[in-house]
Structure formats: structure tokens, C-alpha cells
Structure 1
Amino acid sequence: MDPRRRDAARTRKALLDAASRRFAADGYASTTVRDIAEDAGVNVALINRYFGSKEGLFEACLMNLVEESRQEASTGPDRIAESIAGLIAGPKGDRGHREFLPLLLRRSGDERIDQLRVGFLRYYTERLATAAGWHPGAGDDGLLVRAQLVLAASIGAVVFRSAGLEPLATADEGDLVGPMRDLVDALLLRDTGPSAGE
């Protein structure tokens, strides 16, 4: 690989990781591109070079999260709990995008950013609901509501981990699979047909 391309990829990743942490800690409006560049150890001009603007960097963080979660959200119903546990815990030392998840719950004050934020939440819950048997336009959004509750609980778990609340803060993927399976089974994989509850 061309060394210049490798350096550009490394710089881009450093900016994405630093931005994810800053946006999560300070919110979109309070985060400055200068803070992000300083955290990443690069010249602030590189944010415009690689992402065009602060908004472009936020969108790139969001798209990175979409790519990271695409496989988890589209997995088969028998693997949903394991995939979400992996998304919450993730590899050790790779906390940037997981720390970014709670930011999806906060309004930024920027209409375009809020549209991106809500769009991601909608995308992810629709993929979860589809994996559990939901079909768009079927007229029954009960399963979609349950998928939204699963995602809300997952983001809540990341908030607790970020706050250092034990034992969740140091739980690994294996520790989370069982409880997450209970949640997914109760909310997503129970009988959702018209005869349920009759």
C-alpha cells in the first residue's frame, strides 16, 4: 500500500475516533473542530480536507457507526442478542464509536444533524425488526416498537458503561449475551401474530 494513502487512512481514523469521543462527551454544538484536531494530534485544516466541515465529520462518524452495526442489525433472529452484545462491549480499547451511541439520544440544535441522528435510529430499529419478522407496510408496528425498546436498552447499557457503573462497566461480550438474549426473546422473538394474547 502507498505510504501516503496509509498515512491518510490513519489520520482519518484518528479524527473519527477523536470526534466520536468529543461529540459523545460534549455534544455536537459544544464540540469545536479545533478540540477534535488537538485530540487527534493533527492540524485542524485536515478536518476540512477529509470531511469538508464539522457537519461532514459528524456524518462520517454516524456512517462509521452504520457500517459497524450493519452486520449486527441484519443478522438472523437467532444471532440478534450475540450481535448486540458485541456492539455494546466491542473489542477492548475500541470505545470511540460505542461512546458515540448515547449522543444519538440528544438533540444537537442543528436540524440537519438531528435528521441524521433520527435517521440512524430509524434505520437500525427497522433492521432489527426485519430480522425478527417485521415487514414495512404490514400495518402492524408493534414489532418495530419492540425493536426500538431493544435499541434504547442497548444505548442505555453503553451510557452505564461510560459512567463506570459496575458490574456493567467491565462486563465483556460473554457476560452480556445471556441478559441480552432474555431481552431480545421477550421483546422481539415472542409470538407477534394476530392470535398472540388471545
Structure 2
Amino acid sequence: MLDAARRRFARDGYAATTVRDIADDAGVNVALISRYFSSKEGLFEACLRAAGDELRRTTGQTPADQVPEAIARHIADLGTAGLSSQLALLLRSSGDAGADDIRRGVLHRASEQLASARGWRPDEPGSDQILLRAQMAVAAGIGVAVLRSSIRLEPLSSATEQDLVEPLRGLVNALLPPH
């Protein structure tokens, strides 16, 4: 169900997608979606949580000194597969305030995890600056992924993981110097 929902939300957007569409795509009864996710919003939130998990695996659960390599690996994978449905969900405007709040929360948590890997503590002086820099690093990574997979900008699109590691390491280290 989640795969069908993720594909449908990524392709058609939140507002244009119905629970019936998703149930038909998944080959299940609409009642089953209601049982497990309560509503379309609950299902959308579950899809975005999966997208957040993907971001956390890339940035949050990786030792700080290996974050650029993890980002490069993830972006390199997008080059051949195209923009993942999880990433598309994070980027596509939904036209729904609740869905946009969920999306914003997922991106905020991913940024906090990256900032934490570089020493960010929310209550310390200057912490807003570290979080801002982490959000910029997340935005840059997403931008590289979009230019690489959707727009197919060369030579970025055909760059290998090894080609991406050093520039991304420089970018992340410039934005979030190791502490």
C-alpha cells in the first residue's frame, strides 16, 4: 500500500490523489487503508516518514566524517534510477496545508540530525546558525539530486560516486566544519 501511495502521491500530488486510486493501485479494499492509516493524510504522513527515513539513513545515522560520502553514494544511485518517489514527495507541492506541514517537519528533522552530527545542540548560543547551515547542506544535496536525475545536467548527471565525493565533502565541510 505504501509503495502504491508513494508512487501515486509523487506522480499526481496530494490533492489530486484519492484513497480509492491508491487502493486500486495496491489491489486492496479502501477499508484496509482506513484501518491501517485512518485517512489519506495518515497515509501521506506514513509515505513522508519513509522519505524521512531515507534522509536519516543518508545523513543522520552516519558518522559525521562520513556524511559527504553517504550523500554522494545516495545521489550517485539517483543518477541511473531517476528521482526517487520519496524525494519527489518531499519536493512536490501538495496544495494542502496539513501535508505541507508534514513535509516541512520531515525536512526539519533531517536537517537537525545532520546538524547534530556536527555538534549542534538546540539550546546553545549560535545553534540557529548551525541548523541553518545544515538546512543549506540538505538543500544543496536535494538540488544536486534534482539536477542529476530529473534535469540530467551534464557532466553532473553522468558523474560517478567517486566524482561526487570530494566536492560534496568540501561543500559539507565548508557549511558544517567538523568540531
Equivalent position to 1:104, from 78, 90, 114: 90
Equivalent position to 1:147, from 131, 134, 152: 134
Please give the alpha-carbon distance, in whole angstroms, between the structure 2 residues aligned to 1:106 and 1:75.
27
Match of 1:129 in 2: 115
- Identity fraction in percent: 51
Match of 1:116 in 2: 102
1:189 and 2:177 are equivalent in the alignment = yes
Instruction: Report the 3-state secondary structure (helix = DSSP H, G, I; strand = E; otherwise coil) of the residue aligned with 1:87.
Output: helix
Contact 1:23 1:100 in 2 (8 A): no
Residues 88, 32 of structure 1: alpha-carbon distance in 2 compared, 3 angstrom cutoff = farther
Please give the alpha-carbon distance, in whole angstroms, between the structure 1 residues aligned to 2:39 and 2:63.
37
Please give the alpha-carbon distance, in whole angstroms, between the structure 2 residues aligned to 1:58 and 1:27.
10
Match of 1:195 in 2: none
Contact 1:89 1:171 in 2 (8 A): yes
Contact 1:163 1:169 in 2 (8 A): no
Unaligned runs of 5+ in 2: none
Please give the alpha-carbon distance, in whole angstroms, between the structure 2 residues aligned to 1:94 and 1:38.
25
Equivalent position to 1:74, from 37, 42, 61: 61
Q: Which has the larger radius of gyration?
A: 1
Code of the residue aligned with 1:156 in structure 2: it is G
Match of 1:176 in 2: 164
Match of 2:13 in 1: 27
Please give the alpha-carbon distance, in whole angstroms, between the structure 1 residues aligned to 2:158 and 2:41.
33
Equivalent position to 2:152, from 165, 175, 186: 165
Match of 1:60 in 2: 46
Contact 2:64 2:178 in 1 (8 A): no
Contact 1:37 1:43 in 2 (8 A): yes
Please give the alpha-carbon distance, in whole angstroms, between the structure 2 residues aligned to 1:93 and 1:37.
29
> Which has the higher relative contact order, 1 or 2, with Cα contacts under 8 A spaced 6 or more apart?
2
* TM-score between the two structures when normalised by the length of structure 2: 0.79
Contact 1:102 1:159 in 2 (8 A): no
Residues 103, 65 of structure 1: alpha-carbon distance in 2 compared, 3 angstrom cutoff = closer
1:84 and 2:78 are equivalent in the alignment = no
Instruction: Report the 3-state secondary structure (helix = DSSP H, G, I; strand = E; otherwise coil) of the residue aligned with 1:145.
Output: helix
Q: Name the Cα RMSD after superposition.
A: 2.8
Contact 1:99 1:162 in 2 (8 A): no
Contact 2:82 2:149 in 1 (8 A): no
Unaligned runs of 5+ in 1: 1-14, 192-198
* TM-score between the two structures when normalised by the length of structure 1: 0.73
Instruction: Report the 3-state secondary structure (helix = DSSP H, G, I; strand = E; otherwise coil) of the residue aligned with 1:133.
Output: coil
Count of aligned pairs between the two proteins: 175
Code of the residue aligned with 2:19 in structure 1: it is V
Residues 75, 34 of structure 1: alpha-carbon distance in 2 compared, 3 angstrom cutoff = same
Contact 2:118 2:178 in 1 (8 A): no
